[in-house]
Amino acid sequence: MSGVLGIVLKRLGLGLLTLLIISILIFFAVELLPGDIAQAVLGQGATEETVNAMRQQLGLDRPAPVRYLEWLAGAVQGDFGVSLISGNSVGNVIGPRFLNTLFLAGYAALIAVPISIILGVIVALLRNSLFDRVANVMTLTSISSPEFFLGYILILYFSVQWDMFPSLASLGPDISIGEYLYRAFLPALTMVLVVTAHMMRMTRAAIINLLASPYIEMARLKGTPAWKVIVFHALPNAWAPIINVVALNLAYLITGVVLVEVVFVYPGIGQLLVDAVSKRDFPIVQACCLIFAATFILLNLTADVGAILTNPRLRHPK
């Protein structure tokens, strides 16, 4: 167990180092954007004295490394500063939006993960059949289609032609959970169509790769039915790559929702990021990017730990 703990601590240390490097890139990438932030906030009609006062208020008259260290110290404590547009705390602005994004990602994951694994097992069981070929064509089509394109196609049919679901995910604090699920169904379905293809193909590939193993051949020679060979012999040993691809796709569900949220005007952190960029609200932009990076690194760490726990060779290294 100490070996596993050491590997996990090493992965965690590398993740924190990666997050530190990303925070530097985020901060100085914003610094390199053209234009004066104070001028952009105040507008073109602001006087030079007002712009200078705003620059002092925002701390822009100090060196960038000093401001970065102050921003990083605040970010470690959960203080990302104040929004330039609303004047509210960045944490208070992002908090409800991030919860909405987590809800949407969880909604999509609850649909996508079981469907992907079940379909992956079925197509592995029916390998080279008509069903397998059709499933491969459909998954390749889904993978090749951009999220915004799938979203507009779903709006065209489910909202415009069939009038089954709303095209805009207008949410409020007083709606019931059933209404919430109903209004968020189309953005969740868009994400499901993208990630299901990845997870299903990885499940299929992992199981087919194991079907050539000697113990699988022995189970077949004993007369074990094909579905039992896959479910009870191949699938348990395929969990490591499956867990990896599931965790990576969960990271995508949270960090890759920007286009989906924009298409459906879903009030999540992706929509907030786009609005902040258009309004040059840089504290919001920096905080959103850092949260996306931390979430992706955390879920990658989860994938690594899951792969270690499901692989006896990693759990008990020689």
CATH value at residue 126: 1.10.3720.10
| Structure token pair of residue 192 | 């499901």
Whether 103 and 64 map to the same domain: the answer is no
Whether 42 and 136 map to the same domain: the answer is no
Whether 191 and 167 map to the same domain: the answer is yes
Whether 66 and 121 map to the same domain: the answer is no
The CB density around residue 318, as the number of other CB atoms within 10 Å, is 4
Whether 137 and 6 map to the same domain: the answer is no
Whether 160 and 185 map to the same domain: the answer is yes
Number of structural domains found in the chain: 2
Q: Exposed/middle/buried for 43, CB within 10 Å: 0-12, 13-18, 19+?
A: exposed
Contact 143, 194 (CB under 8 A): yes
In this structure, is residue 82 part of a structural domain?
A: no
Q: What is the extent of the structural domain holding 72? A: 2-76
Domain boundary among 25, 42, 76: 76
Domain boundary among 41, 76, 111: 76
Per-residue pLDDT of the chain (318 residues; tens, 9 = 90+): 556 677 778 888 888 898 889 888 888 887 777 666 776 666 666 777 777 777 777 777 778 788 888 888 888 888 888 887 777 888 888 888 888 888 888 899 899 888 888 888 888 878 888 888 888 888 888 878 888 888 889 999 998 888 888 888 777 777 888 888 888 899 999 988 888 888 888 888 877 877 777 887 888 788 888 777 777 777 777 777 777 778 778 888 887 788 888 888 888 888 888 888 877 788 888 888 888 888 888 888 887 777 777 666 555 655
Whether 239 and 293 map to the same domain: the answer is yes
Whether 10 and 133 map to the same domain: the answer is no
